[in-house]
Structure 1
């Protein structure tokens, strides 16, 4: 089921998409008209709705069927907004192919003199140059860094361009919303803690990444990443996504031109594995957001194509949705 937050004249409520008609229905208004006893957190709070699982979806289906017939609560043009405010952000590395392609492009862009030796080594050994592969830990367990959950901008909002970078980049990902607490979870328990999926843009400053990677103490994910990211308005409940997470097509479109077509195939660790690893020795709470990592060929660095101020960037994943942002002007010093 697709669910989103919409703003009425008085408050924020939840709207769900009626499957047969495609209409968005304000669940709070529909509940007030037809089932006042269910009105409350299930019609206004995304995490409460996701955590209610089948009970909430059944309630929403009943309300939407009646509301569509009666013409009550129809939302014709829902605007872009954050579906909820995440409690934290953990960003995983999902695809080794992305890491390899991005690492090769970083070296080609910043240290081109090294490329002939790298190509010769790879031609001889038929494997990636060791320094351009993920760390050895990646073969043993998922890898992630902790991002800035307070700098996520909404679908449709301008994408900020910090003054300190000349190389802003998008990254096509999905993110998982945790809706129940877990600690030391198994893979199955981790999967069961996922309430919904949303499209995510993990924005990066690539020139800063090169400097932080080589010269910083805490790796390439400090000012490279923490200034902004974005996520779609629409959340899809986990029951619709988990069974086919490894076979969804995806695309990057910039100013109506398709820059990349890719898919979720080849994900190194399952969604359940990523939640389980995050919960190893610590509590993972409802509201935490776990991003998948960039799909292969899902960023401008891999494509060697670069966004500029004014570009409209749309990232889309089949069965989950999309996120669209206009690139803002570079901020002044």
Structure 2
């Protein structure tokens, strides 16, 4: 009965970063720039892999999925962060739960996708003769579908458990986004079941997938060391070094966020870490995966040449259309002048 008489929170206040206007302005410009770069880079990856048939391989298929997840992750967080920096700090209860759902979905899916990508590299390097069979199109779609589905179920469970909680005040979130650890601190009811499910999810998504990924790379490194030629070792390592860098950065930031307690200075550090996996990582991923990839550079050149040719063709068509319009207009003027002169005479 006491809980029913309490005022239920209908909106939350995201405290975000600094209250100083000049600092907020600088941060707004930085995050806006990073958002544009992340969107452009990841969209370019998806377009290049979709258009170029030479990139229709399992490795690039999973990379396209990663780019889509990065687009979703940044779009879930950054628009609201930019709005927050523009001095609108409130977020509705529904908006907060929606952000929580999609953020949990995309973060979990990325962790699972890293494991699938590690398995793909393991098969490519350790079992090259059976690669086309072990990583057939059906297997790739099954792995990608499982990644999206399992993460969606996990996110639905966590969001559903969060919705059943009562928030009666305070409603100030010491963060720039709605995230499970920070929201649990504001609940007026028991979060025991939520904490149990968080531990289970952390063990599955964080520990088990991390172990699978590291075991895959253990076999990969062992196989690379057995290659006799230096050129062969470099070529084999170049196919998985980018992925290993991204995995290391991502796991470090996510584990830091969900293991440390959400209070005191840890919350301030958590904001910086959250920026890394929601903003910096999606921005850097296209650069890490494409700058050292000759196939992708070739695909981008083809797209650029095709785009330039289409633009040139469109410009020529517009010029011809404009010239035709001018000729028709001049002929119309001549006809009108002739008609006027005939009436005058």
Larger Rg belongs to: 2
Greater helix percent: which structure? Answer: 2
TM-score bucket (shorter structure): under 0.3
Q: Given the two structures, how large is their TM-score scaled by the length of structure 2?
A: 0.23
